[in-house]
Amino acid sequence: MRLTGSRNPALRVTFKEAVLRNLPGQEEGGGLFVPADLAPWTDGGVAGLLELPWAERCVEILDRLLAPEYTRDEVAEIAREAFDFPVPLVPVPLVPAAGPAPVPPAGPAPVPAGCGRRFALELFHGPSLAFKDFGARFMAAVLARLPAGGPRTVLTATSGDTGAAVAAAFWRRPGCRVAVLYPQGRISPLQERQLACCGDNVLALQVAGTFDDCQRLVKACFADAALSAELHLTSANSINVARLLAQILYFFEAVAGLRREIPGAAPPVIAVPSGNFGNLCAGLYARRLGLPVAGFVAATNANRTVPEYLETGAYRPRPGIATLSNAMDVGDPSNWERIAHLHRRDWDELRRALRWGSLDDGATVEVLRRLWALGYQADPHGAVAYGVLENVLRPGETGIFLATAHPAKFQSALAAHGLAPALPPALAALQERPLRREVLPAEEAALKARLRA
């Protein structure tokens, strides 16, 4: 796989180079690494691909993308190590659009036979109970097979789930130190415990600012060539293209799962809860590779930078607004640059490629209550995706939304609205462990000094 720069079409690097370098240099135009070409499978090839089991399909797709840099045996080994948990597609009852919420049933509600046109792709069955496990575990497996030249520092910013997944993927890995930046007071208590209770080689840095501040600090470190070389810096954020390749895989599983549920099903509309827009970008890459999809939906919370752009043509990044769906509280999403590049920065083409919408916290809570009352325990991010999906679906279309995190990760926020998810054992165990975190000002010099300490 050859990659180029989102701002420099003449640039060419290999996948391994892109993983280690994270970003193109300023002398190369800056921006992000993007695939130089995504040649689609033929119709027949995609049909065969969708008939394969999940594990075999992962190997086929990654082999297509990573050969000849990796042998097929190497790809299979990486896939086995990274993707050893299920990716279920779950039927979801239709949520009434108006009127009082139904009375919650006693015990788990059976899924009605007529509800088969809405589905949740549950991406939270990995170690950290969030979709970020796919990218983080894939990156850890890839980096373990690349030379470092010395101890490696994995530096990442998180608005909620990335930090926990990266901490879990790299915890106690030899030759790796992990530094996770997260915004003070803007991730859930359990999300914080997942990344700040590790210790050992995981450094949790609570930044006095927003996620956009965290992201800015991380980018500044990677732009510092001397620091990057000294610490062998690697990003586990979705600015690193390896994260996106791993996320492509489950979009194929969504369509394959739908075909198992409904033989002969038409291509679905897939709604993606969007904050930094890496997840949606991976879906659009999957469609470019030939995945049959009727549409993609960019679903945001009150951070409406992208929906406003698609509506008005004016792109106005701004500081993130704190919401119930905190992992999406991004006002200047990094991966929008990749999506714009994929569609030639053509506003009309982007509007044809996407559907979009947003929910504020009040609307999110309403959708949450209706889903829970009907027997599906969504988290706030999944509720945003479902609510926007319902607003943009056309008659007769089948919809899939990405359920990106286990609802128990937001136990305190959901409890405020009368919803009580049970804590899985992995989260319950964290309640007894001490937090190991440091407070950091939102200043570049302070972060660089701490990383060098």
Interhelix angle for 278-288 vs 241-261, to 10°? 60
Q: How far is C-alpha 243 from the chain's CA centre?
A: 8
* Identity of the amino acid at 288: R
How many CB atoms are located within 10 Å of the residue 278 CB?
27
Structural domains of the chain, count: 1
Instruction: Give the span between the Cα atoms of 9 and 41, in whole angstroms.
Output: 24
Cβ(123)–Cβ(250) under 8 Å? Answer: yes
CA atoms lying within 13 Å on the CB side of residue 334: 26
The two tokens of residue 398 are 């089948």
Residue 319 lies in a domain: yes
- Please report which residue ranges of 144-237 form alpha helices under DSSP H: 161-170, 189-196, 211-223, 225-231
Length of the chain: 453
Instruction: Give the span between the Cα atoms of 268 and 296, in whole angstroms.
Output: 9
Look at the block and give the residue holding tokens 């991380």: 218
Residue 99 lies in a domain: yes
Cβ(142)–Cβ(242) under 8 Å? Answer: yes
pLDDT value for 421: 93
What is the mean pLDDT, run by run of 10 residues, along the chain of 453 residues? 96 95 90 94 91 97 96 98 97 66 38 61 95 95 88 89 90 92 90 90 95 91 91 88 96 97 95 96 98 98 98 95 92 96 98 98 97 95 97 95 95 93 90 91 97 94
Cβ(306)–Cβ(313) under 8 Å? Answer: no
Residue 368 lies in a domain: yes
Residue 101 lies in a domain: yes
pLDDT value for 94: 77
pLDDT value for 96: 63
Residue 288 lies in a domain: yes
Residue 331 lies in a domain: yes
Instruction: Give the span between the Cα atoms of 46 and 401, in whole angstroms.
Output: 21
pLDDT value for 269: 98
Q: Which residues pair with 343 in a beta bridge?
A: none
Residue 443 lies in a domain: no
Residue 139 lies in a domain: no
Instruction: Give the span between the Cα atoms of 393 and 395, in whole angstroms.
Output: 7
Domain containing 380 — which CATH number? 3.40.50.1100
pTM of the model: 0.89
Range of the domain at 96: 87-129+242-420
CA atoms lying within 13 Å on the CB side of residue 347: 10
pLDDT value for 95: 65
Q: Which of 116, 119, 131 is nearest to 164 (CA)?
A: 131
